[in-house]
Structure 1
Amino acid sequence: MVRNILIALAAGALVFGTAACNTVKGAGKDIKSVGQAGDDAIN
């Protein structure tokens, strides 16, 4: 019983960790895109 709970918690942490990493990557790409658009507008 305890082992099943620990496995479920570990799997949940893995899923949330992966989702958070992808979210941060997406935000970084968005910021880079905005910076590129501003640079293009200035030039």
Structure 2
Amino acid sequence: MWKTILFGLMSLASIALSACNTIEGAGRDVSAAGREVSEEAREHRRY
């Protein structure tokens, strides 16, 4: 019984840690896209 519980907890911890890395990567992608949009807007704004 304890082995099953331990296995379940280890599995959840592994999934949680990999999800954090995935979310961090997605955050970087969104941030980079925002920078690109801002840069394009600066290049095309009217004076």
Quote the Cα distance in structure 1 between the aligned partners of 2:6 and 2:33. 41
Alignment of 1:11-22 (within 5 A): 11-22=10-21
How far does residue 26 in structure 1 lie from its aligned partner after superposition? 0.7
**Which residue pairs with 1:5 in the alignment?**
4
Quote the Cα distance in structure 1 between the aligned partners of 2:27 and 2:35. 12
- Unmatched 5+ residue regions in structure 1? none
- Unmatched 5+ residue regions in structure 2? 43-47
TM-score, structure 1 as length reference: 0.87
TM-score, structure 2 as length reference: 0.81
How far does residue 3 in structure 1 lie from its aligned partner after superposition? 0.4
